[in-house]
Amino acid sequence: MKFVNLWISLILYIFSRQEYCRELQFPSPGFYTFNVISCVMDAKAVLSCPPVLWPSVLVVTWEIVLREKPPCFRAYRRDTNQTTRGNCTDKRITWASRPDENPALQVDPVAITHDGNYTCQIITSDGNFHYEYHLQVLVPPEVTLVQTEGTAVCKAAAGKPAAQISWIPERDCVSEQKPYWGNGTVTVQSTCCWGGRHVIAVSCSVSHLTGNKSLSIELDKGVRTLGFPGSDFVIILCVKFSLLLVILVFVGFLYFQRTNDCR
Ligand SMILES: *[C@@H]1O[C@H](CO)[C@@H](O)[C@H](O)[C@H]1NC(C)=O
Ligand SMILES: *[C@@H]1O[C@H](CO)[C@@H](O)[C@H](O)[C@H]1NC(C)=O
Ligand SMILES: *[C@@H]1O[C@H](CO)[C@@H](O)[C@H](O)[C@H]1NC(C)=O
Ligand SMILES: *[C@@H]1O[C@H](CO)[C@@H](O)[C@H](O)[C@H]1NC(C)=O
Ligand SMILES: *[C@@H]1O[C@H](CO)[C@@H](O)[C@H](O)[C@H]1NC(C)=O
């Protein structure tokens, strides 16, 4: 190994703050509609109830079922114009406006614990109507690409759901997933050996529901980058051997545990 020529390159990719929800509706015959709503963490979600003729409404009920928690309920009775908070205690989940005008529910800001099922049931004099929402909370991963001596490690940390990593040029690399059981996020890491091959630059592509990213690196030289949306923030660090020890202290624990897995 020629340590003197050793380059270490590190690209850290920080996603720009994006807050949005996306909704997909699956109407089924009858009085039932299933919706999938995907929200990036910290976004504001507004879940509406079935559109019905308001004078026919008797009672509106929201049932909220979060993972590993008992269901909780809140309700509005039109004849007495009374709202019941029920046993829903999360202060981030409220009526979106005055329930006597619009019984939509609001989750603001969406947290990772808000993954779950939310059902609006409206009992009217003409029958019962249901809108069920499956709320999926998305967390963009933090992406890093590190290379030393022909080995490149691409990591998408603490994303939800898990990101997918691929390489250009294509290569069979060692991938592993580490779930954080506590909060549902997953860290995916892919380690590639390029040593001995006549490859000048490699790029790692991370695809995730919150967006796709591509980081590129020149093997054993330095870094070039491509494919960044303008608003995102990228830190690039190139270090020659003289600074190796200092950098190892900083990032060794985080990035170099797995480089020996290389086939
Ligand atoms: C939400 O509903 C779906 C489909 O009915 C079910 O598979 C899932 O387990 C439910 N989630 C929770 C948190 O109850
Ligand atoms: C709320 O009340 C319902 C019915 O009364 C009960 O089944 C559920 O466990 C309660 N949920 C919580 C969070 O206390
Ligand atoms: C319902 O009650 C709220 C206050 O609790 C009041 O502002 C609103 O005007 C009432 N609506 C109707 C239709 O009586
Ligand atoms: C999930 O847990 C991991 C490990 O404890 C932490 O690094 C990450 O920031 C957490 N993510 C969220 C969105 O809470
Ligand atoms: C991200 O990449 C996947 C496949 O790698 C593709 O299906 C998806 O459409 C891409 N998403 C965006 C927003 O470009």
Q: Tens of pLDDT along 200-230?
A: 788 899 999 998 888 888 876 554 444 444 4
Task: State the sign of the Cα–Cα–Cα–Cα dihedral 131, 97, 117, 56.
Answer: negative
Model-wide pTM > 0.85: no
Residue 108 DSSP label: S
- Would the pLDDT of 196 be above 70? no
| Topology classification of domain 21-138 | Immunoglobulin-like (2.60.40)
In words, the CATH class of domain 3-17+140-261 is mainly beta
Q: Which residues pair with 102 in a beta bridge?
A: none
pLDDT given at position 202: 87
Tens digit of pLDDT for each residue in 26-81?
Answer: 877 667 788 999 999 999 999 999 999 999 999 999 999 998 889 999 999 999 99
Q: Which ligand is nearest to the CA of 65?
A: 1
Tens digit of pLDDT for each residue in 129-147?
Answer: 999 999 999 999 999 998 8
Neighbouring C-beta atoms of residue 19, cutoff 10 Å: 12
Q: What percent of the chain has pLDDT over 70?
A: 76
CA-proximal residue: ligand 2, atom 11 (nearest): 72
- Sequence-distant (6+) residues with CB within 8 A of 180 are 158, 186, 187
- Sequence-distant (6+) residues with CB within 8 A of 165 are 154, 156, 175, 188, 189, 190, 204, 205, 206
Ligand 1: which atom is nearest the Cα of residue 117? 1
Q: Which residues line ligand 2 at a C-beta cut-off of 6 Å? A: 70-73, 87
Q: Which residues line ligand 1 at a C-beta cut-off of 6 Å? A: 65, 67, 116-117, 134
Residues of the chain with CATH 2.60.40.10: 3-17+140-261, 21-138
The Cβ-side half-sphere exposure at 81, using a 13 Å CA radius, reads 3
